[in-house]
Amino acid sequence: MSGESAVDRAGNEGHKNAVSGSEAPVCAAAPSKSVSIKDVAKLAGVSMQSVSRVSNGSASVSPQLRERVTRAMHELGYRPNRVARALRSGRTWTLGLFVERLETSGSELMLESLMDAAAKRGYGLTLIPIGNDAQVSVIASSPFVASLDVDGMIVNDRPAVAEAIDQFFPDTPVVSIGKNPDRENWSSMDLDQELIGRLAVEHLLDLGHKTVYHVGGEQISNSAIKRAQSWEQVLRERGCEVPPFEYAGWWADDGYHVGKKLAEDPNCTAVFCANDTLALGVIKALQESGLRVPEDVSVVGVDDSVNGYYPNNNLTTVSQRYAEAGRSLVELLIDRINGGGPKHVMVGDDLIVRGTTGPMRERVGGR
């Protein structure tokens, strides 16, 4: 049996007909009439229901079928009528996303995964920028936001955001990044922040370090708080001394300033940083102070986010599964849009060991 697909056969027949001068088939580059879903189904060799499922972003469609139908749509120049689609379904096929900031690589990775997951299900994203708690209500009540017609909202777990949703989008399905204990009717997805701290600290302790210092993220961040709590918990479980620490921020400069202090502490042989950018700042400060990484001090970051920005990246890090997180958020929200009940999903993390961690050695020679 030939491996040629229905799309391939139609394309070959069109070429032969064009050469012989006979009437062009439905796959001609410039059709004289508007292309219908029936035309796409015929060219792809599938049912009209299958084309409809692909057009609507159904999760039940196999990758092979999706590629086949998408190829036929492209060959025919078919474009779904979004207005008619919205009228038939009662949906806008748009999801709203409250965006706090895009200052960190982790935030950018999460946004990228959400955009990709939404597009694969046939949805677009409308970004709603928010600032501090005092600005949330003002932004949510702005004419632009107040007039938004979206099928669902993706938000974070800040109380001020929950209040704005209650006031301006009371009947809109919602999924939150991080579980909001006061909103049991919301679905939620959380990246396992406790596991992040555990993977990093246990890795360093298993290398023989007597304790682990911590450079925290921004103090108002739930992620930073949970990572710090996990760091302390693991140290206490292992009977280790808990060194003093501070919430520094998320930037390399923040890590650099704390790193200068750590370089002066001869007991510091291992550091867990709340993200990769902090870790790079700490490493620079340690090296400027004459310390070697990892021979004198081992350093672990979080996010695995510097590959595209930092040549010869050898940073040991805990990678968050952003692609899985984005898919989970979109699927949870679509389920709520379709009438499903609230669900809660936890997404795991992975330790990636590279060249900035090693066995504990006593700092010598003025280091």
- Inter-residue contact 204 to 238 (CB < 8 Å): no
- Inter-residue contact 73 to 46 (CB < 8 Å): no
- Which of the four pLDDT bands, split at 50, 70 and 90, describes residue 238? very high
CA distances, 155 to each of 55, 161, 253, 329, 365 (Å): 26, 7, 29, 10, 51
Whole-number pLDDT of residue 314: 92
Instruction: Give me the residue label for tokens 């580059």.
Output: 29
CA angle (309, 314, 320) in 5-degree steps: 70
pLDDT higher than threshold 50 for residue 363: yes
pLDDT higher than threshold 50 for residue 308: yes
Q: What is the pLDDT of residues 335-355, one digit of tens each?
A: 999 999 999 999 999 999 999
CA distances, 83 to each of 52, 56, 57, 127 (Å): 15, 13, 16, 21
Q: Strand 344-347 and strand 316-320: pairing?
A: unpaired
| More confidently predicted of 232 and 66 | 232
Q: How many CA atoms lie within 13 A of 77 on its CB side?
A: 10
The domains found in the chain, sorted by start residue, are 37-80 (1.10.260.40), 94-190+323-348 (3.40.50.2300), 193-320 (3.40.50.2300)
Count CB atoms within 10 A of the CB of residue 359: 12
Among candidate residues 96, 114, 90, the one with its CA nearest the CA of residue 168: 96
pLDDT higher than threshold 70 for residue 14: no
Count CB atoms within 10 A of the CB of residue 33: 7
Provide mean pLDDT across the span 184-211.
Answer: 96
In this structure, what DSSP letter does residue 61 have? S
Whole-number pLDDT of residue 105: 66
Q: How far apart are the first and last CA of the chain?
A: 73
Provide mean pLDDT across the span 167-183.
Answer: 86
Whole-number pLDDT of residue 292: 95
Provide mean pLDDT across the span 26-46.
Answer: 69
Count CB atoms within 10 A of the CB of residue 211: 18
pLDDT higher than threshold 80 for residue 230: yes
pLDDT higher than threshold 70 for residue 31: no
What are the beta bridge partners of residue 273?
215
pLDDT higher than threshold 60 for residue 318: yes
- Inter-residue contact 139 to 131 (CB < 8 Å): yes
Longest dimension (CA), the chain: 88
Whole-number pLDDT of residue 365: 41
Among candidate residues 235, 145, 232, 199, the one with its CA nearest the CA of residue 316: 199
Among candidate residues 220, 353, 213, the one with its CA nearest the CA of residue 286: 213
| More confidently predicted of 101 and 107 | 107
